[in-house]
Chain A
Amino acid sequence: MKKNFLPALKLTLVCLLFFSGIYTIIILGAAQLAPNKGKGEIIIANGKTFYTNIGQKFTDDKYFYSRPSAVDYNAASSGGSNKANSDSEYLALVKSRIDSFLVHNPEVIKVDIPSEMVTASGSGLDPHISVQGAKIQIKRISKIRNISEANIQELVSQNTEESMLDLFGPEKINVLKLNIALDNLNQIKAK
Chain B
Amino acid sequence: MNKEILGIILMYGLVMLFAIPLGRYIGKIFTNEKTWLDKIFNPLDRLFFKVSGIDEQKQMNWKQHLVALLTINLIWFIISMLVLTNMAWLPLNPDANPSMNGDQAFNTATSFICNTNLQHYSGESGLSYLGQLVLMLWQFVSAGCGIAIAAVVFLAMRAKATDQLGNFYHLFVRSCTRILFPIAVVVALLLVFNNTPMTMEGKDTVISLQGDTMHVSTGPVAAFVAIKHLGTNGGGFFGANSAHPLENVSYFTNLVEIITQMLIPLAMIFALGFVIKRRKFAWMVYGVMTIGFLLLLIPTVIVEMHGNHAISAMGITQNIGNMEGKEIRFGTPASAYWSIATTIISTGSVNAMHDSFTPLAGMFQMLGMMINSFYGGVGVGFLNFYIFIILAVFISGLMVGRTPEFLGKKIEAREMKIAMIIALLHPLLILGGTALASYIFSHNPTAHAHWINNPGYHGFSEMLYEFTSSSANNGSGFEGLGYGNGSSVGDNTPFWNISCGIIMLLARYLPIIGPVAIAGILASKKYIPESAGTLKTDTSTFGLMVFAVIAIVAALAFFPALTLGPIAEYFGMRK
Q: Which residues of B contact A103 (CB under 8 A)?
A: none
Closest residue to A120 on the B side, CB-wise? B324
Q: Which residues of B contact A6 (CB under 8 A)?
A: 53
Determine which of A15, A87, A114, A116 lies in contact with B140 in the assembled complex, contact meaning CB atoms within 8 Å. A15
**Is there an interface contact between A40 and B195, defined as CB atoms closer than 8 Å?**
yes
**Is there an interface contact between B316 and A23, defined as CB atoms closer than 8 Å?**
no
Given contacts A40-B246, A94-B314, contact A82 B323 (CB under 8 A): no
The answer to the question of B420 belonging to the interface, with a C-beta cut-off of 8 Å to chain A, is no
Residues facing B in A57-113 (CB within 8 A) are 57-60, 63, 67, 73-88, 90-91, 94-95, 98, 110-113
Given contacts A54-B214, A57-B212, contact A11 B198 (CB under 8 A): no
Q: Which residues of B contact A30 (CB under 8 A)?
A: 188-189, 192, 198
Give chain B nearest CB distance to A173 CB in angstroms. Answer: 8
Given contacts A83-B480, A94-B311, contact A121 B325 (CB under 8 A): yes
**Is there an interface contact between A75 and B217, defined as CB atoms closer than 8 Å?**
yes
**Is there an interface contact between B479 and A79, defined as CB atoms closer than 8 Å?**
yes
The answer to the question of B206 belonging to the interface, with a C-beta cut-off of 8 Å to chain A, is yes
What is the bound-complex CA distance between A59 and B189, given in angstroms?
Answer: 37
What is the bound-complex CA distance between A20 and B216, given in angstroms?
Answer: 24
What is the bound-complex CA distance between A87 and B209, given in angstroms?
Answer: 34
**Is there an interface contact between B353 and A28, defined as CB atoms closer than 8 Å?**
no
Residues facing A in B87-141 (CB within 8 A) are 122, 124-125, 133-134, 136-137, 140-141
Q: Which residues of A contact B206 (CB under 8 A)?
A: 48-51
Given contacts A78-B240, A81-B324, A126-B327, contact A170 B319 (CB under 8 A): no
**Is there an interface contact between A168 and B7, defined as CB atoms closer than 8 Å?**
yes
Selected A-B contacts with CB under 8 Å, 25 pairs: A1-B67, A8-B68, A10-B53, A15-B137, A27-B220, A28-B199, A34-B193, A38-B192, A51-B216, A55-B245, A76-B124, A77-B125, A114-B320, A118-B316, A122-B325, A122-B335, A123-B243, A128-B327, A129-B328, A163-B3, A164-B252, A167-B7, A172-B328, A176-B209, A180-B209
The answer to the question of B310 belonging to the interface, with a C-beta cut-off of 8 Å to chain A, is yes
**Is there an interface contact between B7 and A164, defined as CB atoms closer than 8 Å?**
yes
Given contacts A53-B195, A54-B245, contact A80 B52 (CB under 8 A): no
Q: How big is the A interface, by class? A: 35 or more
The proximity string for A residues 123-154 relative to B, scoring 1 for CB distances below 8 Å and 0 otherwise, is 11111111010000000000000000000000
The answer to the question of B352 belonging to the interface, with a C-beta cut-off of 8 Å to chain A, is yes
Give chain A nearest CB distance to B366 CB in angstroms. Answer: 14
What is the bound-complex CA distance between A70 and B277, given in angstroms?
Answer: 53
**Is there an interface contact between B251 and A163, defined as CB atoms closer than 8 Å?**
yes
The answer to the question of B331 belonging to the interface, with a C-beta cut-off of 8 Å to chain A, is yes
Which residues from chain B sit less than 8 Å from chain A, CB to CB? 3-4, 6-7, 10, 47-48, 51-54, 67-68, 70-72, 75-76, 79, 122, 124-125, 133-134, 136-137, 140-141, 169, 173, 176-177, 181, 184-185, 188-189, 192-193, 195-201, 203-204, 206-210, 212, 214-218, 220, 222-223, 226-227, 238-240, 243-246, 249-252, 255, 307-311, 314-331, 334-335, 350-353, 355-359, 453-458, 461, 478-480, 483, 569, 572-573
The answer to the question of A187 belonging to the interface, with a C-beta cut-off of 8 Å to chain B, is no
Closest residue to B64 on the A side, CB-wise? A4
**Is there an interface contact between B569 and A84, defined as CB atoms closer than 8 Å?**
yes
**Is there an interface contact between B201 and A39, defined as CB atoms closer than 8 Å?**
yes
What is the bound-complex CA distance between A130 and B264, given in angstroms?
Answer: 34
**Is there an interface contact between B223 and A23, defined as CB atoms closer than 8 Å?**
yes
Q: Which residues of A contact B316 (CB under 8 A)?
A: 98, 110-111, 113, 115, 118
What is the bound-complex CA distance between A125 and B244, given in angstroms?
Answer: 7
Q: Which residues of B contact A1 (CB under 8 A)?
A: 67, 70-71
The answer to the question of A179 belonging to the interface, with a C-beta cut-off of 8 Å to chain B, is yes
What is the bound-complex CA distance between A128 and B383, given in angstroms?
Answer: 42
Give chain B nearest CB distance to A118 CB in angstroms. Answer: 7
Q: Which residues of B contact A74 (CB under 8 A)?
A: 214-215
Which residues from chain A sit less than 8 Å from chain B, CB to CB? 1, 4-12, 14-16, 18-20, 23-24, 26-28, 30-31, 34-41, 45, 48-60, 63, 67, 73-88, 90-91, 94-95, 98, 110-116, 118-130, 132, 163-164, 167-170, 172, 176, 179-180, 183
Q: Which residues of A contact B210 (CB under 8 A)?
A: 56-60, 63
Given contacts A11-B169, A56-B210, contact A82 B479 (CB under 8 A): yes
Q: Which residues of A contact B136 (CB under 8 A)?
A: 19-20, 24
Closest residue to B54 on the A side, CB-wise? A7
Q: Of A127, A130, A170, which is in contact with the most chain B CB atoms at under 10 Å from its CB?
A: A170
Given contacts A9-B75, A168-B6, contact A38 B310 (CB under 8 A): no
What is the bound-complex CA distance between A91 and B573, given in angstroms?
Answer: 12
**What number of residue pairs across chains A and B have CB atoms under 8 A from each other?**
375
Give chain A nearest CB distance to B189 CB in angstroms. Answer: 6
**Is there an interface contact between A79 and B328, defined as CB atoms closer than 8 Å?**
no
Give chain B nearest CB distance to A16 CB in angstroms. Answer: 5
Q: Which residues of B contact A118 (CB under 8 A)?
A: 311, 316
**Is there an interface contact between A76 and B125, defined as CB atoms closer than 8 Å?**
yes
Closest residue to B452 on the A side, CB-wise? A84
**Which are the 7 A-B pairs with shortest beta-carbon distances?**
A82-B480, A122-B243, A78-B240, A80-B353, A38-B198, A128-B328, A168-B7
**Is there an interface contact between A50 and B251, defined as CB atoms closer than 8 Å?**
no
**Is there an interface contact between A168 and B185, defined as CB atoms closer than 8 Å?**
no
Q: Which residues of B contact A15 (CB under 8 A)?
A: 48, 137, 140-141, 176
Q: Of B239, B249, B325, which is in contact with the most chain A CB atoms at under 10 Å from its CB?
A: B325
What is the bound-complex CA distance between A37 and B453, given in angstroms?
Answer: 40
Q: Which residues of B contact A57 (CB under 8 A)?
A: 208, 210, 212
Give chain A nearest CB distance to B348 CB in angstroms. Answer: 15
What is the bound-complex CA distance between A41 and B221, given in angstroms?
Answer: 14
Given contacts A12-B79, A15-B140, contact A122 B4 (CB under 8 A): no
What is the bound-complex CA distance between A88 and B310, given in angstroms?
Answer: 9
Q: Which residues of A contact B457 (CB under 8 A)?
A: 86
**Is there an interface contact between B198 and A28, defined as CB atoms closer than 8 Å?**
yes
Q: Which residues of A contact B308 (CB under 8 A)?
A: 85
**Is there an interface contact between A110 and B315, defined as CB atoms closer than 8 Å?**
yes
What is the bound-complex CA distance between A94 and B500, given in angstroms?
Answer: 33
Determine which of A77, A111, A169, A172 lies in contact with B124 in the assembled complex, contact meaning CB atoms within 8 Å. A77
Given contacts A4-B72, A8-B68, contact A111 B201 (CB under 8 A): no
**Is there an interface contact between A27 and B353, defined as CB atoms closer than 8 Å?**
no
Given contacts A23-B184, A26-B185, A95-B314, contact A83 B243 (CB under 8 A): no
Closest residue to B236 on the A side, CB-wise? A78
Given contacts A30-B189, A38-B197, contact A85 B6 (CB under 8 A): no
Give chain A nearest CB distance to B334 CB in angstroms. Answer: 6
19 A-B pairs besides A35-B193, A82-B479 with CB distance below 8 A are A1-B71, A7-B53, A15-B141, A28-B199, A50-B209, A51-B206, A73-B214, A74-B214, A76-B125, A80-B325, A82-B353, A82-B478, A110-B314, A112-B317, A115-B311, A115-B316, A121-B326, A121-B327, A169-B331
**Is there an interface contact between B200 and A19, defined as CB atoms closer than 8 Å?**
no
Given contacts A31-B222, A86-B456, A123-B244, contact A169 B52 (CB under 8 A): no
